[in-house]
Each structure stands twice: as structure tokens, then as C-alpha cells.
Structure 1
């Protein structure tokens, strides 16, 4: 098993690095934090022309036809550059949910637009509990003639104002388990839908979506009534690996910034990088990010090969979130007070690390997943 990029993936990596260094400097990231749309349509068009928006979508639906290792290579570069775009929300989470839940007719209707970037499809899953467990879905779908009426509040819905379609998870049967959760295709401009932008730590264009008796037709059910949670679980594992790969890219860049600064900053007549205390910090940073990177690519490889990755995915997400947190926090410490001003790049990575930590499940949740899986096994895990 070779976890390094193959020739085609090395081309993806090199081209992405070159493009993002030119098109997405940190000044652009700061500008998009204040932008009403949250991303640059011109850069988004270029990203889509490269095929990134269709990376995980099969060729039969207009996509690139790549696998999870291809996406991990790309995501690492995106995380390094902090690219503000709806790529993760639509082309990863949205596309994977449609692929997992939708009928062939629905895939034909939705996936080509996602792949080209012409349509943004985003998932409205989380509610005030913030959990990724099925009991967190409490929005209700009640029968209304041949259709349904949706009511409830969804949080952390990325780029909801730019989306043409929201995929809303709601309960068609009362309960707290996975049964009775159904996915609906909802127009964010429909009567009864209210969008309110949230003030997040990374200013990454997330919304509260309030559904107040929103009417949907029977053909707006994505897949089968009551069959939504299986699709969400399938999406969550893959999306968690993509977030983990982005976290590796951000952690690596945080480490680079800290090392470079430690060589330049002089105190007591010598570079601060020569002090043992800071050397220990940087040694911890490189150790954590290197180990996490291997876990991420193993999880991506197993998913790409159709192998069981039920242990590897939560290990990868927990480790990558931890490495990003360590590298951005320790990096900020190495910068000292200069790391806390908005003009410093390291604070961008610190804030992004906090957001990425909880996206697709925080480390504590993923470690609980690992514990449950180990308890179910009759023999210890091979790791």
C-alpha cells in the first residue's frame, strides 16, 4: 500500500498549489471574510473549469470521476490556502448526499449542475444540539395533501444564500433514532424559508435556516421517505476525510509560518528558533501533523478501494483536527503577541482550525465512535 500521490495526483497537487498561491493569497481570504457573498465568482468559475467541483462526481453525471484519494490531495492544498468557496458545501457534502440518497433521475437532474459549478446544493442537517447523531434531527415534516410541510430550525448551513437547492433533513416519523429521517429538496427562496447569516469564528458564510410551514411536493423527497439517515452516514465518513485533509494542509502551513518566523525573530542576540523550548514546540507540531497525514491518506485509500474504513475515518478526523489545533496554537505562541493581530497570517489558521475541528464531528465525538466500534469487535483492532 503506497499512500503517496500517484503521477496524476501529483499533477493535481502541483497545479492546485500554483493556482492557489496566485489566486488566493491571505489578503484575498481576509477580503472574503467581509464580502457579502463569501467567495469570488471569478475564482469559483476557474475552480470549476479545473474540474474540482466535479472531483467526486462520476463521469456519467458530468463529473471528473475521481476517488477519495484524489479529493484528499486537492483538499490538502485547499486547506493550505484557506480557499473561500462553496466547494466543500456543494461539491463534497451536497454531491455525496445526492449520490448516496437520490434516484437516478434525481442524480441526472442535480449532479451535472454541481459538477459544472452552475448549481450550488448545500445540506441543512445540524440543529441547535450541534450533534451528528440522528437524535439531533428534530425538524418535522408533516403530511400535507400529496406533499409535506416542513418546520424547524437548521444551523451552520454553508452558503445557503448562494444555493439553488437546500437538502433538508427532517422527521417524517416521530422519534430519536435513524428511522423516519427523510431528505427534502427545498428552494431557499420558497415561502416560509428565512436565512440569517451567523457570526462564526472564521466568518465562513454559514447560515441559520428557519423553516416555517414550508410546502414541498412529493417529488421533492430525495430518495425514499424515511431512508435519509443511511445516506447521511455514508456522506459523513467521506466528508470527514475531506475536512481532515484540509486540516492537514492548514496544519502544515501553520508549521511553516512558525518555523520561518522562528528563524527571523531575534531575541537576546540570536534567532528564537535556537531556544530549546520553541524547538520542542516545533518538534511536537511536525510529529503530530506527519502522523495525522498518514492516517488521513489511509482512510481515503480504504474508502477509494471500497474497503471498511469504520475505524480509520474517525481516527483520521480526530488526529487531523488535533494536529491542526496544535500547529495553529503553538504557532501563535511562537509568534507571541504578533500572532494575535489581524495582519498576521497565523491567526487565520488558528481561527480556521477551530471551525474545522467541529465540522463533520469534533475529535471527542469521533473518539467515541472508535470506542463503540472496538467494543463491538470480538478481537482487538489491528492498529
Structure 2
């Protein structure tokens, strides 16, 4: 693999970082630290500068960049613990509609790229579930309806469409659902970082098939892998910035007349965190590169998500322990990075489920 960043990666990372540095201040994070957090100002800026559309096909108003560039954006958003739905609306939703959708569905992807609408996906079921998903039935007019429940659906309150994995004759398929329909109920759920996530109930809700029934497994695999990789990239940025803040804290905070970082135990904890983040950086880069090159990437993505969970757990707790009482003070920025890291750790599977999934992949090879 080639570790050299592409020019587009560097440019998009720089642009995204500059926007976030300008708009996502510590005061802004405290202001947004409420249930259903969403930074509308940042979302608008990302749309106006072309960041949202960058990975979409040129025919849909994008620049046709790939996984490497997309993970570069997510990494920068993770550094600012940005309260925007880039992962769900662009990396997952718009990507799938652009890749598998019909003309009308691709038009939705284009609108998402301008920031006009938000897309999301209902992916919180077990990693490889093809049962216990919402059920689909064919209507008399040849249409489809979806019935069932999905948990922790991100930004479902703002979404124009939800991509819903479901079963058709025992086989997985993905459907596009309008959450504003009267048969849909959205109930807010409380999660660790106060992100807007919802329990969504469908009661014979009209739905559009994404792709075909025969390609349903492929569409669902793409949705899941984009989400796992995106979470891992965001986690990388979150942990990198959290470690920077913690290192700065140990240089300026004194105990017994000495900088906190001069104590051996503190230095060891920081060193371990540095190594863990290095492992996550390597695995995210490997997974994104394989996706960008069109190579089989499922194993690499599971490895990246394992590191995102395992390193996320260890680094997040290191940040809190070294900050001491400040680490659990909701007015201190360390709190935002701890809760973001814990959210990314458990979202769509913690370390053990991804190790089990990796083992299953290796055993079937």
C-alpha cells in the first residue's frame, strides 16, 4: 500500500480543519453540549465550500473523490468533535444512493451534497444480521411497505430519507423511506455524547427499493462498511486531538512543584496512548486505501473498527485520568472528547463483535 497522502486528501483536510478551527471553539462546544446537538452554522459552511459534495460523482455536482479523501474529512471533523451528519448523510447515505440508486434517488444524493437535505441510515442491528430486521411486504400496486423498529438512527429528526435494511423472502435488501410519513414514529434516545439518535418505528410505511432484491446484500454490505470505516476515521481525529490537549495539560499543570508530564507514570500513559493512536492511524489508512483501490477491504475495515474501539477505550480513559477532576467536569473540553470517543467505541459494534466478524471472514477465506 502507498502511505503518501493524495493532494486532494491534504487539500480537503486543510480546508475542513480551517473551517472547524474557525467555527468550533471551546465556547461553541459547550453551547452545543445539549441533547440533539447539531451545528447548523458548520454544516452550512461545509456545504458552501464544497466539502460535502467532494466525494460525490461529477454528474451529481461532486469531484468524484474516494475513500481516502472522505476519511481525511472525517478525521478533521473528529478532531473538532463536530456536531454534523457528514458520516451518515454523505459517506453512508449519499454514497449508496449515488452508487445504487435510480435517477430520482441519485437526485437526493446531489441535494445532500449541497447541504439542502440530510440523509441517514438505520444500521444499529447486529453486524451481520439478515434476520430481526424490519420486514418488507409487497403491496397490491406492486410497491413496498416496511414494518419494524430501528434503534439509534442518527439525525432521524432532520433526515429527508432513511435507508432501512430489511428482509425480503429471508434475504437482505435496502429500502429508502420518508420518515415524515404518518406511519413513522421517531422517539429521541439519550446517548453518551448527546448526539441526535432516535428509535424509529415503521408501520406499513411506503418504501422504495434501493438497487434490486438480488443486489440487496451488496448494498447492505456497502452501507455497513462505509459506516464502520467512517466511524474509525472520526475516532482517529478525536483521539489525536484528545492526546494533544492532554499533552498540553501535562506541560502546564504542576504537582509538587513539577510539571505533571515529568512524572514517569504519566509519561508512560501518554506513550501508550501515542502507540494506540498510531495503530489506529495505520489501520484506517490501510482500509481506506483498499477501498479506494477497489480491493477486498472487509477484513481491513473490521481491523480498523476494532482499533477504533480498543484504542478509543484506552485513550479516552487516559485523557480523563490525567486531567483528574477536570476530566469529568462538563465545562472542560476534555469531557467532549471523552464522550465522543466512547460513542465511537460502541457505535455499530465494539471491539469484540468486530474481532468475531474478522474471525468469521478469515475462516471463510
TM-score, normalised to structure 2's length?
0.94
Task: Look up the match of 1:109.
Answer: 107
Task: Look up the match of 2:39.
Answer: 40
Q: Is the 8 A contact 1:123 1:166 kept in 2?
A: yes
1:95 aligns with 2:94: yes
Question: 1:223: how far off?
Answer: 1.8
Match among 156, 178, 183 for residue 174 of structure 2: 183
- Unmatched 5+ stretches in structure 2: none
Which moves more between the two structures, 278-287 or 320-329? 320-329
Task: Look up the match of 1:133.
Answer: 128
The 5-angstrom pairing of residues 16-27 of structure 1 reads 16-27=16-27
Sort the Cα spacing of 1:362 and 1:268 in 2 relative to 1 into closer, same or farther, 3 A.
same
Task: Look up the match of 1:380.
Answer: none
Q: Is the 8 A contact 1:172 1:226 kept in 2?
A: no
Match among 235, 243, 246 for residue 223 of structure 2: 235
User: Any idea what SS the aligned residue of 1:364 has?
Assistant: helix
Question: 1:203: how far off?
Answer: 0.6
Instruction: Give the 4+ runs in structure 1 shifted more than 6 A.
Output: none
Task: Look up the match of 2:116.
Answer: 118
In structure 1, C-alpha distance between the alignment counterparts of 2:202 and 2:248, rounded to whole Å: 49
User: Any idea what SS the aligned residue of 1:311 has?
Assistant: helix
1:325 aligns with 2:320: no
Task: Look up the match of 2:184.
Answer: 193
In structure 2, C-alpha distance between the alignment counterparts of 1:10 and 1:316, rounded to whole Å: 21
In structure 1, C-alpha distance between the alignment counterparts of 2:9 and 2:263, rounded to whole Å: 38
Q: Is the 8 A contact 2:20 2:42 kept in 1?
A: no
Question: 1:41: how far off?
Answer: 2.6
Question: 1:55: how far off?
Answer: 2.8
In structure 1, C-alpha distance between the alignment counterparts of 2:135 and 2:299, rounded to whole Å: 32
Sort the Cα spacing of 1:2 and 1:227 in 2 relative to 1 into closer, same or farther, 3 A.
closer
Q: Is the 8 A contact 1:156 1:208 kept in 2?
A: yes
Sort the Cα spacing of 1:371 and 1:256 in 2 relative to 1 into closer, same or farther, 3 A.
same
Task: Look up the match of 1:142.
Answer: 137
Q: Is the 8 A contact 2:70 2:91 kept in 1?
A: no
User: Any idea what SS the aligned residue of 2:158 has?
Assistant: coil
The 5-angstrom pairing of residues 325-344 of structure 1 reads 325-344=313-332
1:28 aligns with 2:28: yes
Sort the Cα spacing of 1:137 and 1:298 in 2 relative to 1 into closer, same or farther, 3 A.
same
Aligned length: 364
In structure 1, C-alpha distance between the alignment counterparts of 2:56 and 2:77, rounded to whole Å: 18
In structure 1, C-alpha distance between the alignment counterparts of 2:221 and 2:191, rounded to whole Å: 25
Task: Look up the match of 1:313.
Answer: 301
In structure 1, C-alpha distance between the alignment counterparts of 2:249 and 2:109, rounded to whole Å: 44
